[in-house]
Amino acid sequence: MDKSVADLANAVAPIGDGASVMIGGFGSSGIPFGLIDALLETGVAGLTVISNNAGAGETGIAKLLKAGMVAKVICSYPRSPGSVWFERRYEAGEIELEVVPQGTLAERIRAAGAGLGGFLTPTAYGTLLAEGKETRIIDGRGYVLEAPLHADFALLRAERGDKWGNLSFHATARNFNPVMASAAKRTIAEVRYLSDEPLDPEAVVTPGIFVQSVVEYGVRP
């Protein structure tokens, strides 16, 4: 029942070459910077990264891109301000990109966690993003069938956690983190505070059943 891990390096040790990894966060809020830095040190390659954006500057996901560890990015905003490393890798043909509208990305992840077979959405109907996908007309409106999006691992950032893996989040840092926890085979969370006592059940956002490893990392950028 004790899911606490001694340090960041041990937390990311199960991640190997070719893994698909969801990384929580929106902008710079709720990004597991500690786990990303620890993953960088492993030197694994061929990763598929699933996130809201493709990083910016020299921090977070951008570090993995700079190091050439990422083979594919699935995201909504590959070109956010300062996303120089994604642009360089993509222009050089070194990385594959799958663009997913933001609401569709969140729902595809949620559908995976809920065990759904997919969902119909009007978003992207009649555009290039719908090419190759099943479409339907319902009450005169076009819809695209979107598949659930699973991952081997999810890296999350939470404000508080306990050794049973229960998590609570700080304000907008909640963003993609909870849905990603439910959609991955193995969820790894870094928390600012790790408690030996159970969190107040009324404060728990992500139940420990969705979390396999939790590690304390007090830094909050």
Q: Where are the domains of the chain?
A: 8-116+150-216
Cα separation, 111 vs 37, in Å, equals: 29
CB contact at 8 A, 17 and 200:
no
Please name the amino acid found at residue 182.
S
Q: Which residues of 22-54 are buried (b: 16+ CB within 10 A; e: fewer)?
A: bbbbbeebbbbbbbbbbbeeeebeebbbbbbbb
Mean pLDDT across 106-119: 98
- Cα 99 to Cα 55, 117, 125, 169, distances in angstroms: 14, 20, 14, 27
pLDDT at 81 over 80: no
- 134-192 pLDDT, tens digit each: 999 999 999 999 999 999 999 999 999 999 999 999 999 999 999 999 999 999 999 99
CATH code 3.30.230.70 for 8-116+150-216 = no
Across all residues in the chain, what is the average pLDDT? 95
Read off the tokens for 167: 């998590």
pLDDT at 221 over 90: no
Strand locations in the chain (E): 20-23, 47-50, 70-75, 96-99, 119-121, 135-138, 141-146, 151-162, 167-168, 184-195, 213-216
Cα separation, 182 vs 12, in Å, equals: 18
Say whether 185 sits in a helix, a strand or coil.
Answer: strand
Read off the tokens for 20: 């698909």
Say whether 89 sits in a helix, a strand or coil.
Answer: helix
pLDDT at 220 over 70: no
The whole model's pTM is what? 0.95
- 190-216 pLDDT, tens digit each: 999 999 999 999 999 999 999 999 999
Read off the tokens for 65: 């891109």
